[in-house]
Amino acid sequence: MINVKYFDFHLKGKKPDSDLALINEAKRLGYHGVSIFYSNEQYNLALENFNKIINDETSPTHLKSFKIDDFSITPGIIIQGKNPHHLQKQIRSLRNKTNILMVDGGDLKINRAACENVKVDILSRPYYKRRDCGINHVLSREAAKNNVAIELCFNDLLKSRNSLRSKIIAHFRDIIKLQRKFHFPLLITSGARTIYDLRTPQDIMALYRCLGLNKEEILMAISVSPSFILDYNQQRKDMVVDGVKIIDEK
Amino acid sequence: MITPHNIFQHELIGLTVEIVESSHQGLEGIKGKVVDETRNTICLERPDGKEIVVAKSTSLFHFRIPEGLVVEIDGKVLVSRPEDRIKKKFRKI
């Protein structure tokens, strides 16, 4: 039997204590790794806290994943762009500061700027506060070309009720339909702020099967795509352009 | 001067290369010196003196540059005539 590694790629970081509780709960529920996101202002403080908690003194670099046993914790930065120009400026300044860069979507222009930028890893919730799913065939093609993953956030379903929940489900279905045609990376995440927002990987898989994803697609979204993003970003510093990599020094 | 930052635009003839991956499994692991290049192929001279022609687009190469560094290049990046490659734009990541 193949050992599948489950990742929760969007935990919302707040305070050191609650973050640690969130991470421990994710570990208890059976995840093999999490990524916890902070705003640019909170990121340095969060890294210092992680260093203290894990007692790792060899960490002057920002590009770092922390490990507790086999459980990986990858801090990332979430960008909330005011407009495409502001977003691009933020991406340029923050790309070398962190391993994972996520853009908070919702506005169509922001969604487009994120999908067209090869330096972005994840576009979070493109459907947020919208009447449509936030991406179309053009953005899907760009996302596939630039390897920008589109996130489906479980917390949006959990925290909504009645008609709003049904609309979010309809947006998820639209994104899934586009993913099947254009093959951009899809991510299923919890978007948890507290330990009560977390669910086991099996529960998440069962839910998304109800929304129309099959088993392979869910495994791609919860296991393969996150691993790929982590591996790719580990190699990013050695890459000169897409397809050219420095591998050895002798 | 050839560096990892300009090798994909540079002249390849004379460099030592190893084929790491290829759709033709028989070519994998072959080392040699680049002696000729066309738009879609590279001609290698193996240590025994035999020359082989390898398709660029289906292979992954390890080029050793004179500094001693080894650079991995996806053959798809190299597909174009050497004289055209110098003015081609590449996506920085």
> In this structure, is residue B86 part of a structural domain?
no
Residue B55: its pLDDT value, please? 96
Q: Label the pairing between strands A122-124 and A186-189.
A: unpaired
Q: The tokens 């082989």 sit on which residue? A: B52
Average pLDDT, chain A: 90
B71–A contact, CB cutoff 8 A: yes
Q: Inter-chain contact B71–A250, Cβ cutoff 8 Å?
A: no
> In this structure, is residue B37 part of a structural domain?
yes
CA distance A248 to chain B (A): 5
* Mean local confidence (pLDDT), A38-58: 80
* Mean local confidence (pLDDT), A104-123: 95
* Cα distance between residue A131 and residue A138, in whole Å: 18
Q: The tokens 């909504």 sit on which residue? A: A160
Burial B59-84 (b: 16+ CB within 10 A, else e): bbbbbbbeeebbbbbbbebbeeeeee
CA distance A238 to chain B (A): 10
CB pairs under 8 A between A and B: 53
Residue B82: its pLDDT value, please? 92
Residues from chain B contacting residue A245 (CB–CB below 8 Å): 71-73
Q: Which of B72, B74, B77, B91 to mutate to test the interface with A (most CBs of A within 10 A)?
A: B72
Closest partner CB to A245 (pick from B68, B72, B90): B72
pLDDT band, residue A60 (cuts 50/70/90): very low
Give the domain range for residue B29.
7-77
* Cα distance between residue B47 and residue A170, in whole Å: 62
Residue A63: its pLDDT value, please? 54
> At residue A58, does pLDDT exceed 70?
no
Domain count, chain B: 1
| CATH number of the domain enclosing B44 | 2.30.30.210
pLDDT band, residue A50 (cuts 50/70/90): confident
Beta carbons of B27 and B58 less than 8 angstroms apart: no
> In this structure, is residue B93 part of a structural domain?
no
Q: Render pLDDT for A188-197 as a digit per residue (tens, 0 to 9).
A: 999 999 999 9
* Cα distance between residue A85 and residue B26, in whole Å: 50
Q: Inter-chain contact A118–B8, Cβ cutoff 8 Å?
A: no
> In this structure, is residue B83 part of a structural domain?
no
B49–A contact, CB cutoff 8 A: no
> Comparing A20 with A69, which gets the higher pLDDT?
A20
Q: Inter-chain contact B93–A241, Cβ cutoff 8 Å?
A: yes
> At residue A62, does pLDDT exceed 70?
no
The pair of structure tokens assigned to A125 is: 């919730």
Beta carbons of A187 and A225 less than 8 angstroms apart: yes
Q: Inter-chain contact A245–B92, Cβ cutoff 8 Å?
A: no
Residues of chain B with pLDDT under 50: none
SS3 A99: coil
Q: Render pLDDT for A124-173 as a digit per residue (tens, 0 to 9).
A: 999 999 999 999 999 999 999 999 999 999 999 999 999 999 999 999 99
Residue A87: its pLDDT value, please? 96
Instruction: Give domain limits for chain A.
Output: 7-233
Residues from chain A contacting residue B56 (CB–CB below 8 Å): none
ipTM value for the complex? 0.90
Closest residue in A to B6 (Cα) is: A240
Between helices A137-146 and A162-182, what is the axis angle to 10°? 60
The pair of structure tokens assigned to A240 is: 């000169």
Q: How far is CA B71 from CA A158, B8, B58, B60, B85, in A?
A: 48, 10, 17, 11, 17
Instruction: Tell which residue, B61, B63, B68, has the closest CA to residue B16.
Output: B63
Domain A7-233 homologous superfamily, CATH: Metal-dependent hydrolases (3.20.20.140)
Residue A57: its pLDDT value, please? 57
Neighbours of A122 (CB within 10 A): 28
SS3 content of chain A, % helix, strand, coil (to 5): 50, 20, 30
The pair of structure tokens assigned to A83 is: 């407009």
Q: How many CA atoms lie within 13 A of B14 on its CB side?
A: 6
> In this structure, is residue B85 part of a structural domain?
no
* Cα distance between residue A180 and residue A175, in whole Å: 9
Q: Render pLDDT for A207-240 as a digit per residue (tens, 0 to 9).
A: 999 999 999 999 999 999 999 999 999 888 889 8
> In this structure, is residue B1 part of a structural domain?
no
Closest partner CB to B69 (pick from A239, A241, A246): A246
* Cα distance between residue B65 and residue A250, in whole Å: 11
